[in-house]
Amino acid sequence: MQTKFLLSKKDVKKKNFSDMKYDGTQLRGHFAYFDFKILGDSAVSWIGPCDVNFDHMVDGEDFLEGSAIRGSEMVHFIIEFFDQSLFSGVVLQRLFANIVRDVIYELSQLKNIKLDRSGDDLYFQKRKLSISIATKSPMSTLVHFAVNVRTEDVPVPAVGLKELKVNEVEFAKRCLSLLKLEYEDCQKATWKVRPVL
């Protein structure tokens, strides 16, 4: 798995992504390849606003409820991997939620904070810290995971990394690094086990 943190708008020369706003169109097959020449399994992260167009809302629940998906500043992750099922993507998404929680525990300057995970969402004192969805493109499995930095514009009670005293750049890089380790370790685990009857 290759990982890349897009430091600033200079990293992103594509006309249609120069504002680094996640609007749902980034959740597509080969996003990392066609926009950043990263080939194969990948995880890309950047910091930017979030405002998902209704047409690009892939979560049926949000769609049915007409929920707004919005935030003024979030750490975004787009994870893409090939030749795996949607089910494995959903489970990986939840494993990544645990990794995100561990990284916040590790980096936060607050003592003994406690985050709750409910499915693919993280909460701090019942306020929402993250959004996420796992889906399929014709050739790959995709996950979008985003964590609030600040909470302006978030349409529900929310918390962000600023309040949790976590540096967002350090956070993004640490999450990418742990995800890569975990993902590659999972792959290796499939190569070294004997079948049973």
Q: Which residues bind a second copy (CB under 8 A)?
A: 27-30, 33-34, 37, 39-40, 56-61, 63-64, 82-88, 90-92, 94-95, 98, 102, 112, 117, 119-120, 133-139, 142, 182, 185-197
In angstroms, give the least distance from the CB of 10 to a second copy.
19
The contacts of residue 50 (CB under 8 Å, 6+ apart) are 21, 22, 23, 69, 70, 71, 74, 76, 131, 146
Closest CA to 154 of 74, 96, 84: 74
In angstroms, give the least distance from the CB of 157 to a second copy.
22
93 neighbors 179 (Cβ within 8 angstroms): no
The residue (of 16 and 63) whose beta carbon lies closer to a second copy is 63
The residue (of 133 and 149) whose beta carbon lies closer to a second copy is 133
Edge to edge, what strands does the sheet with 127-128 contain?
A: 115-118, 121-124, 127-128
φ, ψ for residue 29, nearest 5 deg: -60, 140
In angstroms, give the least distance from the CB of 125 to a second copy.
17
In angstroms, give the least distance from the CB of 40 to a second copy.
5
The residue (of 86 and 169) whose beta carbon lies closer to a second copy is 86
Surface-to-core class of residue 2, CB atoms within 10 Å of its CB (0-12 exposed, 13-18 middle, 19+ buried): middle
The residue (of 137 and 177) whose beta carbon lies closer to a second copy is 137
101 neighbors 115 (Cβ within 8 angstroms): yes
The residue (of 94 and 162) whose beta carbon lies closer to a second copy is 94
In angstroms, give the least distance from the CB of 150 to a second copy.
27
